Amino acid sequence: MNTIHYLMDPVQRGLFLPGIVVGLGVAVMCSLLSVLVVLKRLSFIGQGVSHAAFGGVGIAAVLGLAAGGAAYLGVIVLFCLASAWLIAWLSERRGASSDTAIGIVLVTAMSVGAILLHESVGRARSQPGSFVAPPGWESILFGSSIGVTWTDAALAWGVAAGIVAALWVARRPLLFWAYDEASARAFGVPARAMRLMLMVLLTLAIVASMRLAGVVLATALLVLPGATALRLSDRLRMVMILALVIALAGVLGGIVLCFEADWPPGPSIVAVLTALFLLSRSPFPVGRAGA
């Protein structure tokens, strides 16, 4: 098997192992957030924020920032946060529906990113050595396990630890708001603060996922584990555990599929997660934990 060969060979293992570690960190952070995303029907907001990262990549490229560096990631985080705030502002203050606001921000951010990436490529070609070559479209859209470093792995797990800690500290008001926002408001839960917190956590998870999954597939990682888990159980603790297990299985299964079939890692991971979701909806009894 190619997987065993890659992991046993010292050279190949050093090349691919950081990407596997990053994938496991992404699975941890995205699985827990995906339950909240599905409960609040925020899948399209996650899509809007993830695609907004494309605009942040374009700005970072024009500024000549090296891909993967702290400044590079900082620009993307700020752009995604601004996009999330703009979506909320358009939908709450300007009377636009959520899907309309998401569509406006999504297409604008991607257009800005495409224009700026085009400009940065032109600068890099006309003045070689003066500007850093921007990342390729394929790596931005779909990610790549090649080039992922141990620094990326440490960053992914650091973000995962921060997200888990934040979710644990705010678990009671956050879950109350996610299940019943009207009642939560009546009991004094700050709904706007809960929504802002979730948007910040989604942004951090998306940026940390970009190197492995890309901006297009980050949305799937924030939806499929939670959607599958909610099909299998109606008890919150069990749903969280199942979402984590499903995400880990999707990442590991996708990486194996990547090695064996020579497919890109991001699409391979989503293919496995999609198969697990379809299996949970199959007419054959798979059981419902905690029912």
> 245: closest CA among 198, 289, 199?
289
Whether residue 267 is contained in a domain is answered as yes
For residues 124 and 236, which has the higher predicted lDDT (pLDDT)? Answer: 236
Whether residue 224 is contained in a domain is answered as yes
Specify which of 59-73, 116-130, 247-261, 272-286 reaches the highest per-range mean pLDDT: 247-261
Looking at residue 242, its pLDDT comes to: 95
Whether residue 291 is contained in a domain is answered as no
Whether residue 286 is contained in a domain is answered as no
> 219: closest CA among 149, 167, 143, 115?
143
Domain span holding position 52:
2-8+15-280
Whether residue 285 is contained in a domain is answered as no
Residue 234: both structure tokens together: 């109606």
Residue that the structure tokens 């529906």 belong to? 97
Contact by Cβ (8 Å): 272, 266: no
Looking at residue 68, its pLDDT comes to: 66
18-32, pLDDT tens digit by residue? Answer: 888 888 998 899 999
Whether residue 288 is contained in a domain is answered as no
What is the average per-residue pLDDT within 253-281?
A: 88
95-140, pLDDT tens digit by residue? Answer: 667 778 888 888 898 898 889 888 887 776 776 655 556 666 566 6
Whether residue 119 is contained in a domain is answered as yes
Confidence of residue 265 (pLDDT cuts 50, 70, 90): confident
CATH of the domain at 39: 1.10.3470.10
Whether residue 287 is contained in a domain is answered as no
DSSP string, 47-108: HHHHHHHHHHHHHHHHTTPPTTSHHHHHHHHHHHHHHHHHHHHHHHHS---HHHHHHHHHHH
Q: How many domains does the chain have?
A: 1
Percent of the chain exceeding pLDDT 90 equals 19
167-201, pLDDT tens digit by residue? Answer: 999 989 998 888 888 898 899 999 888 888 888 89
